[in-house]
A and B are shown apart, each in its own frame.
Chain A
Amino acid sequence: MSLLRSPLNLADFKAVSLPLTDDVSAELHAGDLVLLTGTLYTGRDQTHRRLCALLDEGRELPVDLAGQLLYYVGPSPARPGRVIGAAGPTTSYRMDAYTPRLLELGLKATLGKGARTQPVREAMRKHGALYLAAFGGAGALLSQCVKAVELVAFADAGPEAMFRFEVCDFPAVVINDLEGRDYYEEIARHSE
């Protein structure tokens, strides 16, 4: 497992199974380090745009997002014989225009990098959803935590298609918890 070669102290991380349950989510707090194992869905700008277009048209989504985690990633192509290319997070605020609608459908967590805007934070609190940050710019290392990849929808969007990932010990930091705490904000306040 790649993380064993990494300098991270695994004892600092909590093992978390995906999909999340409400009980597990409630026990995770801003600043917690987690290792995610299980199934998640991916999507970035185009996937979000298209999911919301389907909702506008009153059509069914390609996948039921209730209870799921959505990872903001546009992976690089897999070399032959490999599961995936680099697969680190993209910046989350670009999804903010769409996220509240997906939270209304029961999406329980999002994973990306960077801060969320106030409407998303409020929607997360209302719907009991977490926001986590993956380690930005560590796409080669994170690719080794992705064990299987399946195309779900929007193949023509290329790297912006929607995939299902099986991940094992995928590291992340809890940024927004169910109590409304924001880890980035706490760091900024702490350093003032």
Chain B
Amino acid sequence: MRTIDANMVTEAVKDMAVAAAHHLEPDILDGLLAARDRETSPLAKNVLDLLLVNADIASREMIPVCQDTGICTVFVTLGQEVRVAGDLQAAIQEGVGLGYAEGYLRKSVCDPVERVNTGTNLPAVVHVELVSGEECRIAFLPKGCGSENMSGLRMLPPSAGIPGAMDYIVETVVKAGPNPCPPLVVGVGIGGTFERAAFMAKKVLLRPVGEPSTREDVARIEAELLARINEQGRGVLGLGGCNTALAVHVDTFPTHIASLPVAVNIQCHSHRHKQVIL
């Protein structure tokens, strides 16, 4: 049994919080570059260039890529052969709090009833999954709510089938229009239960941008969804062109014979995510 000190978790989360806000990962930068190269609208092409310049300024000058530095979701995949000495949950929350305070990041979390800001960006939403092995993997996904607000979930009847699910997904993205800052990464969860579908739709955003599903039939669904979304011509920031989405990532889970849950989690072009293995 390996032991990890909870302080290591705090440090790792703090570092990821600051890094995520300032330095976009290569997968999303490559996605934006590829979009620029295939863009047909001159204005959209200019705006894609501007977004790449923005990412460069953010990284060099240590100004957040976007002022909405998000509400944080932390996915912990904890091997059963590793023990965290201390309080794992508290260590993660402390790491987020320190990162947002020391990194000059915006505190965007408030009580849902009183709407009073907690002033710390806490709490973060933490999901812990126990797996075999002795790795502790922590993925950090801070998310602005311009895009989060455009997400949706529908409990479809099985008769709707995959065509019905695809219509709902395309409709959700098109209805969002310019609001969620396209070009988007669209996370989709099909199957499972109400909450599992939503969980999958978010977690699948961690897959490198544009990497297809390992299931061939699902990869075909992803490709068709991407083509259908981009045919609609809403484009970069809703200003037209062929890049409303950079990628559609779909995850699936077996579901009840009476059910077809479909969740769509919309991610803006400022797709900030970090991962560490302790």
Residues of A within 8 A of B (CB): 2, 5-9, 45-46, 49, 73-79, 82, 85-88, 90-91, 93, 113-115, 133, 135-141, 143-144, 157-160, 173, 183-184, 187-188, 190-192
Contacts and interface: CB of A to CB of B under 8 A. Distances in A.
Contact of A113 (B57, B62, B179): B179
Q: Which of A77, A114, A136 has the most CB of B within 10 A?
A: A136
Q: Which of A2, A45, A82, A141 has the most CB of B within 10 A?
A: A141
Interface of B: 46-47, 49-51, 53-55, 57-58, 61-69, 104-108, 115, 117, 119, 146, 149, 177-181, 232-235, 237-240, 268-270
17 contacts: A8-B50, A76-B67, A85-B104, A91-B179, A113-B179, A113-B237, A114-B146, A115-B177, A137-B51, A137-B66, A138-B50, A138-B51, A158-B117, A159-B106, A160-B117, A173-B239, A187-B238
B228 to A, nearest CB: 13
B44 to A, nearest CB: 10
Given A77-B106, A135-B237, A90 B53 contact: no
A187 B240 contact: yes
Q: Which of A7, A114, A138 has the most CB of B within 10 A?
A: A138
Contact of A93 (B67, B107, B108, B179): B179
Given A113-B237, A140-B58, A190-B233, 19 more contacts: A6-B53, A45-B115, A76-B64, A76-B69, A79-B62, A85-B63, A90-B68, A91-B180, A135-B47, A137-B51, A137-B269, A137-B270, A139-B58, A140-B54, A141-B57, A184-B178, A184-B238, A187-B235, A191-B240
Contacts of A76: 63-64, 67, 69, 104-106
Contacts of A45: 115
Interface residues of B, dominant DSSP: loop
Contacts of B58: 86, 139-140
Contacts of B108: 74, 159
Contacts of B237: 113, 133, 135-137
Contacts of B69: 76, 86
Contacts of B57: 2, 140-141, 144
B65 A140 contact: yes
B177 A114 contact: yes
Nearest to B176: A114
A44 B108 CA distance: 12
B173 to A, nearest CB: 13
A35 to B, nearest CB: 13
A191 B233 contact: yes
Contacts of A82: 63
Contacts of A183: 239
A190 to B, nearest CB: 7
Contacts of A133: 178, 237-238
A21 B50 CA distance: 29
Contacts of A137: 51, 54, 65-66, 181, 237, 268-270
B179 A9 contact: no
Contact of A140 (B49, B61, B119, B181): B61
Contact of B64 (A2, A8, A85, A184): A85
A99 to B, nearest CB: 16
Contacts of B61: 140
B257 to A, nearest CB: 39
A6 B50 contact: yes
Given A85-B64, A140-B64, A5 B53 contact: yes
A138 to B, nearest CB: 4
A9 B50 CA distance: 11
B46 A86 contact: no
Contacts of B232: 191
A158 B235 CA distance: 33
A78 B106 CA distance: 10
Contacts of B47: 135
B141 to A, nearest CB: 16
B206 to A, nearest CB: 19
B214 to A, nearest CB: 30
A85 B67 contact: yes
B239 A86 contact: no
A191 B50 contact: no
